[in-house]
Amino acid sequence: MAKTAAFGVMHVCTAFGVSYALTGSMTVAGAVTVVEPVVNMVGHYFFDKAWDKHMGHAPAAGQAASQP
């Protein structure tokens, strides 16, 4: 868990640093740093659903199949 937390902190710092370097604005960099992970999580959710539907993957062991 510590490694995951450290990676999360590194990701946030990197996102802020890159955004600030590109825009020169702390406000924009802060907004990107907050908004990007949220958009990424939502995108990942829908990506997983589409992947499972189109690639025909069964639910992982111990998970119930989703109902239509």
pLDDT digits (tens, 9 = 90+) for 43-66: 999 999 999 988 876 666 666 655
Mean pLDDT of the 16-42 span: 95
Confidence band (pLDDT; 50, 70, 90) for 40?
Answer: very high
Look at residue 56 in the predicted model and tell me its pLDDT.
75
Closest CA to 37 of 67, 7, 68, 3: 7
What are the C-alpha distances in Å from 5 to residues 9, 22, 44, 48, 60? 6, 26, 19, 23, 25
Geometric angle at alpha carbon 61, from 39 and 55, rounded to 5°:
55
Predicted structure pTM score: 0.63
